[in-house]
Structure 1
């Protein structure tokens, strides 16, 4: 009875399955005799319960000692779970799995080189390095955009572009997706949507926080367009940037976010597309409209690519993969329609840019005037847009 009480009390029964061990030990000790005191050990087992417990405890301590072997049963019932790594980069979209090896390089770099805040721009932007310390990517977290309290930069409130806080990163990805659909004719650097964890990324309480944002391959260049002026740029290169900006209705194209490279002739690389796809027409801005190349019609090759692009299918595909507001996708559809119609009518990039942008900040642009007229019309919306558009563009 005393033994039953001891085993069921939890003082020893929580350590091992004691009932089974006790029975086995009882038979083991019973067959072992001790002569140090002239008294049989087996007799003590039956006459002295305390002695029996002492013997059991000694054997249990022997069993509990660590050995070089792994107990397979214990491994199955109490697995040792690996700790979450202190830093990682994970791709969100399965379509980007081909970039895993590139992310592995960045992972190695994060071990010794923390994300480095870029001094330029108004949002949180970070350089990521590889194991050699070379800058390889640019990361833009969604929670460090605009007026977010996590934005590490001091900035005045930006103009109302019709883009909400946290929406810029996905637009970086969409610009790349569009370029992929166009056979990379625009040279937008590969851009992915990722989750990144690093000890330097914490919340307001200082706890580790995983960041979601756009990750773009870093582009080696000799500088930006503002460094050398536009007159040396090939016409085709200017037209590429122009076509992309009008398709996504870019509200922030300036010559500081157009990179140039002279390695294989002079080429232009457009970056920074977070201020695209606004919810309405209005605040578009295109520095290239003042380049002399913008006053010539699109080259035949580029004109053919623009005309054959199915913007409706692209918008459907984007809506299935990412969370983008319908009105923002509609802006892209309408802006691309304007570009395609203008190309067919032989309009220049400058003429179309003037139609899409405001001459003065507080004056409605021609496209805004057109859309207000369409809204007052009865009938099918898209048919009315096409009718008005053909009329408006013919007068340019």
Structure 2
């Protein structure tokens, strides 16, 4: 059994915990997770006891380069093209932590674009297991038939639970690329376009802070509810009024597993933010976005709390390295510092991604003096140093 995370699927979110308990009951009732055919890793649609899809589960050991990845293309890649293996700036096989980390950043900043995601442990015969695990399962099941019913249920599966990210499923959303093409032909109404711009800026804030290396238009989702005409009769039959409801739009930032690098990507393979080519990226950040995130991101205590929250999750992994985590946070602080400057100077998302990348290491000043983020920010961009202390 994996020891990466606690054995008990207990959370401080009662609603999320209720969903997981229902999923476990569903698996006990032979309602198994279904492997998703798309993608380069083993990921699964998970159902509840009503057979409704309630989440997407991505096990750690079935990630693109994990030992139990069921997709042969990555095995071929690793075996035959080792020189191009993986993304050199990312920690291997920690994508599930990145998924959860993105959810933490989202919740901490009240962005509300990432579906709730947490580390969960599940077992199902539809997951990819080794031959040894499968042989052990057959032995356990044979043994359970000889045991009293109360004991037999406890060893029903005989499969080790897998640690992975569980993200709540969002319904009636489609790939952003699908809607973006439609918006070119059918421009959004003014009020809806403003709403979409604000949501887009929240996506930018999230992606930039976590330094997402895999944000194409196919891995964020849009839900667009068009307006409807409603007729209401007046007091007289001849009197009728038509109510036009404003179209509503929502986005969901999924597939956050390739983020939180421990160094900035090399220039030869920079992993650009694909949303930077959208027309929305050319508009300066709105006052609404500044009011939402700027005060918190300028507060070093807030940034430290965010780092502590991420540490509590990342340290659960059996391969956790404090030194590597510190490097990841140094990159994240540099991203935050750039973002703070861009927000204060009224830059656009496009101008933001064109700023020189920096890394901010947290160190104690020799003089004992603690600078504010504004002081560090000023020193960084006046002196043009790529690496400096955040005290």
TM-score, L = length of structure 1: 0.66
The structural deviation recorded for 1:225 is: 0.9
Q: Which moved more, 1:245-254 or 1:314-323?
A: 314-323
1:130 and 2:130 aligned: no
The DSSP-based 3-state class of the residue aligned with 1:215 is: strand
Partner residue in 2 for 1:209: 160
The DSSP-based 3-state class of the residue aligned with 1:276 is: coil
The structural deviation recorded for 1:145 is: 1.4
Partner residue in 2 for 1:190: 116
The structural deviation recorded for 1:97 is: 4.6
Distance 1:91 1:291 in 2: 43
Distance 1:103 1:159 in 2: 31
Distance 1:109 1:288 in 2: 38
TM-score, L = length of structure 2: 0.66
1:278-289 aligned at under 5 Å gives the runs: 278-282=261-265, 283-289=270-276
Which structure 2 residue ranges, 5 or more long, are not aligned? 1-5, 79-84, 137-158, 226-246, 297-301, 361-366, 386-391
Aligned residues: 288
Distance 2:249 2:122 in 1: 35
Distance 1:222 1:97 in 2: 25
The structural deviation recorded for 1:302 is: 1.0
Contact kept, 8 Å, 2:341 with 2:377, in 1: the verdict is no
Pair 384,182 (structure 1): closer, same or farther in 2 beyond 3 Å: closer
256, 261, 265: which one aligns with 2:223:
261
Contact kept, 8 Å, 2:99 with 2:255, in 1: the verdict is yes
1:1-396 aligned at under 5 Å gives the runs: 92=9, 94-110=11-27, 111-153=29-71, 154-155=73-74, 156=77, 159-183=86-110, 185-201=111-127, 202-205=129-132, 206=134, 207=136, 208-229=159-180, 231=183, 232=188, 234-263=196-225, 265-282=248-265, 283-309=270-296, 310-323=302-315, 325-355=325-355, 366-367=356-357, 386-389=378-381
Pair 116,243 (structure 1): closer, same or farther in 2 beyond 3 Å: same
Distance 2:209 2:275 in 1: 15
The DSSP-based 3-state class of the residue aligned with 1:293 is: helix
- Structure number with the bigger relative contact order (C-alpha 8 A, sep ≥ 6) is 2
Distance 1:213 1:93 in 2: 14
Distance 1:178 1:239 in 2: 15
Distance 1:321 1:175 in 2: 11
